[in-house]
Amino acid sequence: MAHPQSIVSPTAATTTPVASQASADTQTHSRRNGFIGHPGLIFIGAITLMLLHGSLRLGFTSAIEVDQAEQLVLAQRLQVFYGTRQPPLYTWLAWLLEQPFGPARELASGLKYLLFVAAGTTYWLAARSLGATRREAGLCIVSLVLLYQIVWKMHQGVTHSALLCLASAATLLTIARLRDQHRRRDYLLAACAIVIGMLSKHSYWAFLVALLAAAVADPGLRRRLTAPCSGWLWVPIAGLGVTYLTGLLLLPDPLAVQFRATLGASDATRGFFESRLQGLGSLIQATAGFLSFLLLPMLAAPWLRGAPGTTVDSPLRSAGRQLLFRLNVGLLVLLLGLVLVGGATHFVERWLHAFLLWLPMAWVFTQAQRGRLEAGRALPRLMLALAGLLIAAALTWQAVQDIHGPPACHRCRPLIDHGPLADALAEARLADADLLAGDEHIAANLRLRLPGIAVRVPNYPQLQLPRRADRPCVLVWDLGRGVAPPGALLSLAREWCGEGLTAAVQAVTVPLQRQRARHAGWTRTLAAPFADAAYGFAFARYESLAVPPVAAPRSSPPGGPSASSASTSSDRPDMLEARRERPYQAGADSRMSATMMRTMPIPSERVGTSPNCNQPASRAMTGFAREASEASLAESRSRTKVHSSQPSALPPMAVKAKAQRNSGVQSVAGPGSMTARSTSRGVP
């Protein structure tokens, strides 16, 4: 009789070798997949890459990025709408982060990179839900890296597009999961993803329409989307969608106007075929620029060695591939509709995330069906090598931009140090003022350094900040756009600070160095033909009076003491030569009369001389004023005589300057820089 332990059941005898063989095959397949089949390694790599880029930008620059400056201005107040330019969700997130920590560059960069990492993770999960293996889902992420707008431009200044990528990937993931999981919470998750997308970017609506049309064409998804439980999906979408669109239509700037301004929609006076051909050309160019580096493996795939292989296509992956095909066809039809029906003539690459983000995934699914993505094939090797090259190039290029500057960057806004300007405002006791800036870059960077100020910009009139009556009203503008404040800035000042504005015309110029101290000889070497060494900024304090503007008095004689005081440092030949070397301040920038920019003495205890101010560049401000021609002075005086009974016809700064001169002004010029402030009798 056999021992009981020696008896082996037939089932165990047959299944054990099979299980062992399956385990061995899995381990072999995992080893052949390499790191691309391990989502954890991809996630760690993405986090490391984002940290490297963020550390470079924060460590070697002192200013905030382009698009993040806009959010730093808008996040001062929580509003339902911030205009029709973009939906409000990203600004809400920025406002939420500011509440416990205050405005900070680290928070702005961290929010963007966190959204991109979440978007990449959701993109991987969406590929898996459509039937892709881990290796194929990893190659979908690699194909994203081959997009120029992802690997390169996302580090330059992206905000709403990061949220759009996350929302669209989450929408596709939750809709695709409804085929197998159709519980109440699955419908609610899909509704939440769609709501986030509606509030992320306007182009999400095109993606949503194309996705729902593609899902309805799928028999399995059509049953889920028309089931009784689907009300948990459709009711929230309809409620929020109608409410949101109604609110957009009620805003002062209509969506149609924004569409025409953004896409360059042609009007009825232009030729039909001319505008459509222009739109198609712009669309093709923008599409090629968006895909750019991915086009190389796309074109090389049919010619690579070892293709095609043999791969068994599962039903789930086949359904996912068909869904992606219909989705991309629908998005292409919508793009062509914008051109042929809407008359759009102008497309930019950064606007196409919602339309082209799913083309790489569809291409990977097609190559997987043809067996070209198996381990050892040439196509995955080409994709990985190209992605590694692009990541290294993008990291190196950003390091060159942030450390060296021009000619690697054009405007080099992140390299502009706004610290001297903030110091000058603080020393002038204006650190908690209501500030009106010429653009969002000045406003955002000053808000980072002076958290007590409230900033407004003419480009964003929908930001409704209350005017603090006990705070001074200060204007700050870029001297590269003119010695006088821009007209839009003056209009906003009248609206926000009051109609009875009298201009304390005195200004302070602060040279803002693009380069760091270690690059003191920057302008004498490589970058001399490309950029100036300093930015000129000015600020002027405006005081609102309860009385109407004072009529302009007679102008002082040309040879008077005030005229002679304006020429103290402007006759220096080196200052005039420096003025001529500034191409952005030539010509019409000197229209402001010398009497308006004269250094006016005030008590020294009310003047702060910033130690960071560059003395020659500050004196150049007086040189700018001195360069006003005699014809310009004569024109200003003749206008004063003709319109003396209508002071509103005069430039407000000229009215205030002459009114102050008539009432008597006491001032003292600060040493080392053209720091000037004035107070008139009876005005606090």
Q: Look at residue 232 and tell me if it is in a domain.
A: yes
For residue 230, how many C-alpha atoms fall within 13 Å in the half-sphere facing its CB?
A: 14
What whole-number distance in Å separates Cα of residue 411 and Cα of residue 54?
20
Spatial CB neighbours of 142, under 8 Å, sequence gap ≥ 6 = 36, 383, 384, 387
Q: What is the Cα–Cα distance from 241 to 212, expressed in whole angstroms?
A: 15
Sign (positive or negative) of CA dihedral 141, 58, 352, 172: positive
- Chain mean position to CA 365: 33
Mean pLDDT of 478-496: 80
Whether the CA torsion 204, 206, 208, 210 is positive or negative: it is negative
Q: Which residues contact 181 (CB under 8 A, 6 or more apart)?
A: none
pLDDT of residue 294: 94
Q: Which domain holds residue 614?
A: 416-519+529-663
Taking 70 as the threshold, does the pLDDT of residue 107 lie above it? yes
Which pair of structure tokens corresponds to residue 278?
Answer: 């222009």
CA distance 244 to 458: 25
Q: How many residues does the chain have?
A: 684
Residues 122, 274: Cα–Cα separation, whole Å: 42
Strands in 63-147 per DSSP E? none
CB atoms within 10 A of CB 562: 17
In a domain, 637, yes or no: yes
Residue 600: which of 562, 652, 633, 567 has the closest Cα?
562
In a domain, 684, yes or no: no
Q: What is the pLDDT of residue 290?
A: 93
Burial of 499: CB neighbours in 10 Å, binned 0-12, 13-18, 19+: exposed
Same domain, 382 and 342: yes
Q: Are residues 352 and 469 in the same domain?
A: no
In whole angstroms, how far apart are CA 90 and each of 51, 293, 355, 408, 512? 21, 29, 20, 30, 30
Q: CB of 642 within 8 A of CB of 537? A: no
Same domain, 184 and 222: yes
132 and 248 assigned to the same domain:
yes
Task: Confirm if 146 and 167 have CB atoms less than 8 A apart.
Answer: no
189 alpha-carbon distance from chain centroid: 29
Q: What percent of the chain has pLDDT over 90?
A: 29
Predicted confidence band of residue 146 (pLDDT cuts 50, 70, 90):
very high
Q: From CA 284, how far away is CA 139, in angstroms rounded?
A: 26
**Side-chain half-sphere of 420: how many Cα atoms within 13 Å?**
25
Cis peptide before 308 (omega within 30 of 0): yes
Place of tokens 């960077």: 445
| Separation between Cα atoms, residue 473 and residue 470, nearest integer Å | 10
pLDDT of 303-333, one tens digit each? 876 545 555 678 888 899 999 999 999 999 9
Is 6 among the domain residues? no
- Model confidence at 493: pLDDT above 60: yes
pLDDT at 6: 42
Asked if 399 and 56 touch (Cβ cutoff 8 Å), the reply is yes
Listed range (358-367, 576-585, 590-599, 608-617) with the worst mean pLDDT: 590-599
pLDDT one-digit tens code per residue, 500-543: 555 554 555 555 544 443 333 333 222 222 233 345 666 666 65
Question: Within this chain, do residues 493 and 374 fall inside the same structural domain, yes or no?
Answer: no
For residue 429, what are the CA distances in angstroms to 64, 214, 290, 316, 524? 24, 61, 48, 67, 36
Q: Tell me, yes or no, whether 453 and 383 share the same domain.
A: no
CB 568 within 8 A of CB 622: yes
195 within a domain of the structure (yes/no): yes
What pLDDT does residue 488 have? 86
Q: Is 341 left (phi over 0), alpha (psi -120 to 50) or beta?
A: alpha
Q: Is residue 299 part of a domain?
A: no
Averaged confidence pLDDT in the chain: 71
The pLDDT score that the predictor gives to residue 383 is 92
Predicted pLDDT of residue 237: 86
Is the confidence at residue 370, as pLDDT, over 90?
no
pLDDT at residue 251, as a whole number: 72
Cα 13 from Cα 24, distance rounded (Å): 18
Alpha-carbon radius of gyration of the chain: 31
Q: Does residue 192 sit in the same domain as residue 340?
A: yes
Helix (H, G, I), strand (E, B) or coil at 432: coil
Structure confidence by residue, pLDDT tens digits, 154-177: 888 789 999 999 999 999 999 999
Q: Do 390 and 440 reside in the same domain of the chain?
A: no
State the residue for tokens 């382009």.
66
Is pLDDT above 60 for 578? no
The answer to whether 676 touches 669, Cβ cutoff 8 Å, is: yes
Contact 214, 327 (CB under 8 A): yes
**Comparing C-alpha atoms, which of 491, 200, 247 is closest to residue 357?**
200
For 657, residues 6+ apart whose C-beta sits below 8 A from its C-beta are 503, 505, 595, 596, 598
Least confidently predicted of 1-5, 168-172, 380-384, 604-608: 604-608
Cβ(489)–Cβ(459) below 8 Å = no
pLDDT at 29 over 60: no
**356 and 487 together in one domain:** no
Element holding 434 (H helix, E strand):
strand 434-437
Q: What is the pLDDT of residues 68-84, one digit of tens each?
A: 999 999 999 999 888 88
The pLDDT value given to residue 196: 94
**180-216: pLDDT as tens digits:** 888 889 999 999 999 999 999 999 999 999 999 999 9
Instruction: From 364, 394, 424, give the residue that closes a domain.
Output: 394
Q: Which contiguous run of DSSP H or E holds residue 185?
A: helix 184-198
Question: How confident is the model at residue 310, as a pLDDT?
Answer: 54
pLDDT in tens, 207-246: 999 999 999 999 889 999 988 888 888 888 888 888 888 8
Please check whether residue 134 is in contact with residue 37, taking contact to mean a CB–CB distance below 8 angstroms: yes
With a cut of 90, say whether residue 286 has pLDDT above it: yes
Q: What was the pLDDT predicted at 358?
A: 95
Q: What angle (nearest 5°) sits at the alpha carbon of residue 143, between those of residues 141 and 146?
A: 120
How distant is the alpha carbon of residue 575 from its chain centre?
37
Are 123 and 140 a contacting pair, CB within 8 Å? Answer: yes
163 and 222 fall within a common domain:
yes
Classify residue 209: in a domain, yes or no: yes
pLDDT at residue 616, as a whole number: 35
Instruction: Please provide the distance, in angstroms rounded to a whole number, between the alpha carbons at the two ends of the chain.
Output: 115
- Three-state secondary structure call for residue 245: helix
Q: Which H helix or E strand runs over 180?
A: none
pTM for the model stands at 0.73
**Is the model's pLDDT at 629 over the cut of 70?**
no
Instruction: Count how many Cα atoms sit within 13 Å of the Cα of residue 267 in the half-sphere of its side chain.
Output: 3
Are 379 and 247 in a shared domain? yes
- Structurally, the chain folds into a number of domains equal to 2
Better pLDDT: 454 or 182: 454
CB 111, CB 89: distance < 8 Å: no
pLDDT computed for residue 479 by the predictor: 74
Question: Is 375 inside any structural domain?
Answer: yes
- 238-242, 310-314, 447-451, 584-588: which range is least confident on average? 584-588
659-669 pLDDT, tens digit each: 444 443 333 22
- Residue 177 is predicted with a pLDDT of 92
473 and 373 in a single domain? The answer is no
